[in-house]
Structure 1
Amino acid sequence: MRYAEKPSPDVVLVVAAGKVDGRRKGWKEFALKTTEMKFDPKENERVRIVNQKLASSGIKFDAAAAALMAERFGDRIAFLDTELEKLKTYLGRNEAAGAADVETCISVPSADNVFDLVEAVSDKRTADSLVQLKSLRENGERVEPILAMMARQFRILLLIKTLKPLNLPTYELAGKCGVHPHYFPKYAEQASKSDSETLKRNIVSLSRANLRLHGGGADEWHILELEIISLTR
């Protein structure tokens, strides 16, 4: 912190960090004196990174389990190593993992539940959207992963609409969008019911909600509830 207050004009200091809590006093002070830059991988790169980590984990994932891991961690790669270690402990000597093992052990919101939430938001069904959110909350999910997965899903839908005029084969389109082919049809169906401008607005709006989330002071669930009400107007 002392260096950040009076840095050398001839030195560029790079501090690489994963997940940080921007609400903490230390990080707030640090952020005021520095410039934050994010280097997020593209959607298709996310799936490749997840698959590489799965392959090197020592766990033998069947196809359904691998697809589920890619779906849940495509936008949360920084958490994957910790969750893989937890899954190893859960499996014990059994090195094979199926979808049921992932569902039982991995503490990330179900993609299906978030998919239903995004579908309700896209259809501007405010009451249904809030019911879906309430269900996620009662299941012990956290706000930040839900927000991240919602933003990722809207980005995928926008990318599908952008690439559709190219008439690519389904497997190639799924790869470019960072979606496992097993899950792609339901994404394509949802994209067909959305327009690009609305998707763009939703992505920007969720990004602003994320900034408010890290600003501290306000109740996280209240922020997300207000955001969903705003998106479904």
Structure 2
Amino acid sequence: MNLSFVQWQTRGAWARDGAPLTVYGIWGDAWLQDRVISSLLETAVGEGERDFNFDQLDGENTKVADILAAVGNLPFLSDRRVVLVKRAERVEGLGRGDGDAPPKSKKKAATGASAATRLVGGLTSLPPTTVLILARTPESVEPGERAGERCLNAALDRTIDDVGALINCSVDPKNTSLVAGILESEAKLRGIKLERGAAAYMCNRCGTDIAFLLSEVEKCALRAGLSSPVTPAVIDEMTRPALGDTIFDLTDALGERNGGKAIATLRELLERGEAPERLMATVVSNLRQLMQARAFLDLNLPLDGSLARRLPPEIAEQLPKEGRDNLVQALGAQSWLARRLNTSARRFSSGQLRRALELALEADLAMKGIEGDGGFDSKNNSAATMEIFLARLCSSPA
């Protein structure tokens, strides 16, 4: 059974005589995944029974043998037990089928195939008292990218489809009706009034990350007040438009040394109300990721979810410890980012990226009034400082 989130809501999670299936594969948006998992848990195991009948594993530190051992246990004073595996694609490299580079040695290939084969065998012989939930690392889909179509890999997904259910929680950024509907229903549950069309307006303005949108709705509700609805005017005042593909358009223009295109893209962002300081921070963050991506490509390392396993320890120690600037962590949750960075990083050399960050530092200091003014009051004319930064970057040698 292969269902979208909407189909799952319509049909319900229980397909056989009101009883839960033995295995579920879930992937896509984080908030929708949590919604499905919570519903499965509530129906399969009572809250008071979970101390002895609910196991949660992390795929990063889990082997197939651990999963098979957990699902083989019998429930204690309950009809069923649940085993939840988060980041399931990381269990012994089971998600390599999603574009990960193939193992270089035959030994590694055999190990990966053996792990998948053993799990397939286990899924076909699960006890009826067990509910196994395999949840892929959540990811949001950026405009221009396609939502993922797999949970783990082709063989495992076929098995889950045969004996259980695959639930696709991905959100298509071109189709905001699902997200707008969720936003409206959640706002109603929270006692927040939305003007007609406000939910769709917020999706078009801020993107389709549901958890983020819900936090923005609550912020807008506080601004509107208890008795007033959230309107597009309030949304404009309290939120920022999603940058979407435009930042990548900007860095692509820089890689092409196309100063005219880069400055035109910058002006487009400024006209949309983006602050120059925020754009500078975003460009610098993107350049840092490109710097790491270029280094990984130079080392023949793949830009995908397997990077964390293949990264030499001496290289890992040099990376930012946490946050979006750590590319290894970012790639684990956002597969679309790997595709974009793979293309963008090849437009630059390491020397060009180092020079770009040096110029960014100079521009940042000028915007803060600490150094240089370029012949004008750069502290009070940040937009002009940004344009000069882009022009210098596009004209600088490799």
TM-score range, shorter chain: 0.5 to 0.7
Matching of residue 196 in structure 1 with residue 350 in structure 2: yes
| Aligned position for 1:178 | 330
Matched with 2:375 is none
CA distance in structure 2 between the partners assigned to 1:89 and 1:225 by the alignment:
40
What are the equivalent positions in structure 2 for 1:1-233 lying under 5 Å apart? 66=140, 92-93=187-188, 100=204, 102-103=206-207, 106-107=239-240, 109-164=242-297, 165-168=299-302, 170-173=304-307, 176=328, 178-179=330-331, 180-215=334-369, 217-233=379-395
Q: Rate the CA distance shift 1:187–1:168 in 2: closer, same or farther, 3 A.
A: closer
TM superposition shift of 1:111: 3.8
Task: Give the unaligned 5+ runs of structure 2.
Answer: 1-29, 37-137, 143-182, 191-199, 209-234, 309-326, 370-377
2:363–2:386: 8 Å Cα contact kept in structure 1?
Answer: yes
Tell which deviates more after alignment, 192-201 or 203-212.
203-212
More strand by share: 2
Instruction: Tell me: CA distance 1:218–1:186, structure 2 relative to 1, closer, same or farther (3 Å).
Output: same
1:230 to 1:134, Cα distance in 2 relative to 1, 3 A: same
Q: Percent identity?
A: 17
Q: Secondary structure at the match of 1:178?
A: helix
TM-score normalized with structure 2 length: 0.34
Q: Secondary structure at the match of 2:383?
A: helix
Higher relative contact order (CA 8 A, sep 6+): 1
Aligned mates of 1:221, 1:90 — CA distance in 2 = 40
Equivalent-residue separation in structure 1 for 2:266 and 2:185 (angstroms): 28
Question: Which deviates the most, 168-177 or 220-229?
Answer: 168-177
CA 1:99–1:187: 2 relative to 1, 3 Å: farther
Q: Relative to structure 1, is the Cα distance of residues 59 and 225 closer, same or farther in structure 2, using a 3 angstrom cutoff?
A: farther
In structure 2, the residue corresponding to 1:171 is in which secondary structure?
Answer: coil
Give the structure-1-normalised TM-score: 0.56
Q: Conserved in 2, the CA contact under 8 Å of 1:157 and 1:187?
A: yes
How many pairs were matched up?
156
- Shift in Å, 1:214: 1.4
Q: Which runs of 5+ in 1 are unaligned?
A: 1-53, 69-87
Contact 2:290/2:344, CA 8 A, preserved across alignment: yes
189-198 vs 97-106, which moves further: 97-106
Aligned partner of residue 232 in structure 1, secondary structure: helix
Point out the structure with the larger helix share. Answer: 1
Q: CA deviation at 1:167?
A: 2.6
Q: Deviations over 1:178-199 (max 9, x none)?
A: 2411221121111112100000
| Greater Rg by CA | 2
